[in-house]
């Protein structure tokens, strides 16, 4: 095996949020040192990492110095400038490669890649003006969703258009010079595949996960998803093709719309561990975070077997509206695990942590995690 980076080495993370935090926990458990780089201090990742470098992403001299101190650099989120990844690649390994980041951080590039590679993707049009938007609406119809071409997540940078007459207001609201118009896809549910690919081309996945969103933010994930084996296998097959086509070394999530007729359509890609995979931290032999570490370090991928069915519920800042949540109440459920991200302030819509419940069936896990989250706020329910 080539390019094996063994425990004791330092690995670098661009970004410093909760994904990096859980990656750092997995890495330190296996004996690696972790360096994190972002413009912020006392971050979720920095609280766990051995070294927290605080600098701007466009300070390429600092970026190169950061990269010189580690054996490999990976990503905690995809909105890292391409120049930052390129600067790291000048002096050390970057996994997944900068080309993966370049494709997936920009909606137009991502959707063009998917369409040209033959993967099922939502119908879309490139839009750079109100006139182009109106023409695209005439082709794709309404309702439709207008999204910024880059730098969007959790529903940010997008607006739904119900009728052609809303084009002007939607274009003004988005405040961008480049956007993507997507046809509205009527779907039965949203599902995702979190998968990993090793240096040697090996592939591992966590099956198909079912996701519920509220206000465009992931709310509940259940695994395994309650779908047929045919749909599950088709989703995994598509995900494997995406990772191979992009030549990913690391973890990538493929988000799908599942239509009522069973057709799968790719919504988005995320070249990193994903919110829908958080339940793997407790539910699987190898979590998505350990899998990311194994992949980028050239180690064999671990087993993704579910120990028990599981469900994850996000904890947003809204839960702090009436004061500190009742953590003891949530911990009173013996099959529920609490994860808090160490963020310094809570605000509505901000992901502050999550709960994971394990149970004999996925539906029982879902009901359990909802009950535990409800208990956090007692007389002030979150939902």
Per-residue pLDDT of 223-254, as tens digits, reads 999 999 999 999 999 999 999 999 999 999 99
pLDDT band per the 50, 70, 90 thresholds, residue 382: very low
> Are the C-beta atoms of 322 and 377 separated by less than 8 Å?
yes
Every domain of the chain with CATH number 3.30.470.20 lies at: 189-377
Which strand (E) or helix (H) includes residue 258? strand 250-258
What residues form DSSP beta bridges with 339? 354
Fold of 10-94: Rossmann fold (3.40.50)
Paired with 196 in beta bridges are: 204, 251
Q: Is 261 exposed, middle or buried (0-12, 13-18, 19+ CB in 10 A)?
A: exposed
| Nearest residue to 154 via CA among 214, 224, 216 | 216
310 contacts 362 by C-beta, under 8 angstroms: yes
Burial of 357 from C-beta contacts in 10 A (0-12 / 13-18 / 19+): buried
Do 287 and 306 meet the contact criterion of CB atoms below 8 Å apart? no
Local structure of residue 303 (DSSP, 8 states): P
pLDDT digits (tens, 9 = 90+) for 162-208: 999 999 999 988 888 889 999 999 999 999 999 999 999 999 999 99
Looking only at Cα atoms, what is the longest distance across the chain?
60
**In terms of Cα–Cα distance, which of 204, 354, 196 is closest to 279?**
354
Residues 6 or more apart from 39 whose CB is under 8 A from it? 54, 55, 56, 57
Q: Rounded to an integer, what distance in angstroms lies between the CA atom of residue 243 and that of residue 197?
A: 7
pLDDT at 79 over 70: yes
Of 236, 111, 232, which Cα lies nearest the Cα of 183?
A: 111
pLDDT in tens, 250-291: 999 999 999 999 999 999 999 999 999 999 999 999 999 999
Distance of CA 277 to the CA centre of its chain: 8
Q: What is the residue whose two structure tokens read 């490139």?
A: 126
Superfamily per CATH, domain 123-183: ATP-grasp fold, A domain (3.30.1490.20)
Domain spanning 189-377: CATH superfamily: ATP-grasp fold, B domain (3.30.470.20)
Q: For tokens 């490999």, what's the residue?
A: 72
Tokens representing 324 are: 């500190």
Residues of the chain within CATH 3.40.50.20 domain(s) are 10-94
Give the model's pLDDT for residue 375. Answer: 95
Confidence class for position 151, pLDDT limits 50, 70, 90: low
């Amino acid at each position: 095996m080539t390019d094996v980076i063994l425990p004791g080495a330092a690995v670098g993370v661009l970004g410093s949020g909760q994904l990096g935090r859980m990656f750092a926990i997995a890495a330190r458990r296996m004996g690696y040192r972790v360096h994190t780089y972002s413009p912020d201090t006392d971050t979720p990742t920095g609280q766990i990492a051995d070294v927290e470098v605080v600098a701007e992403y466009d300070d390429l001299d600092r970026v190169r110095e950061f990269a010189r101190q580690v054996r490999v650099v990976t990503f905690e989120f995809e909105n890292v400038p391409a120049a930052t990844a390129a600067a790291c690649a000048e002096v050390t390994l970057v996994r997944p490669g900068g080309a993966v980041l370049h494709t997936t951080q920009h909606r137009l590039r991502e959707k063009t890649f998917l369409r040209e590679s033959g993967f099922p993707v939502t119908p879309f049009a490139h839009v750079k003006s109100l006139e182009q938007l109106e023409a695209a609406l005439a082709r794709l119809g309404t309702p439709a969703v207008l999204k910024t071409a880059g730098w969007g997540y959790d529903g940010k940078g997008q607006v739904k258009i119900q009728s052609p007459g809303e084009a002007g207001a939607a274009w003004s609201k988005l405040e961008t010079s480049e956007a993507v118009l997507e046809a509205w896809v009527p779907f039965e549910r949203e599902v995702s595949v979190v998968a990993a690919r090793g240096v040697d081309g090996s592939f591992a996945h966590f099956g198909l996960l079912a996701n519920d969103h509220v206000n465009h933010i992931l709310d509940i994930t259940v695994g395994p998803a309650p779908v047929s084996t045919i749909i599950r296998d088709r989703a995994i097959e598509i995900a494997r093709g995406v990772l191979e086509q992009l030549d990913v070394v690391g973890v990538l999530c493929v988000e799908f719309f599942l239509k009522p007729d069973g057709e799968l359509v790719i919504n988005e890609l995320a070249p990193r561990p994903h919110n829908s995979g958080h339940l793997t931290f407790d539910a699987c032999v190898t979590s998505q975070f350990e899998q990311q570490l194994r992949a980028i370090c050239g180690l064999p991928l671990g087993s993704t077997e579910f120990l028990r069915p599981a469900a994850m519920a996000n904890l947003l800042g809204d839960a702090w509206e009436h004061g500190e949540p009742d953590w003891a109440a949530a911990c009173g459920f013996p099959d529920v695990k609490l994860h808090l991200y160490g963020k310094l302030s809570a605000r509505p819509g901000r992901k502050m942590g999550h709960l994971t419940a394990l149970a004999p069936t996925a539906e029982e896990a879902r009901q359990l995690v909802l009950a535990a989250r409800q208990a956090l706020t007692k007389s002030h329910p979150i939902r």
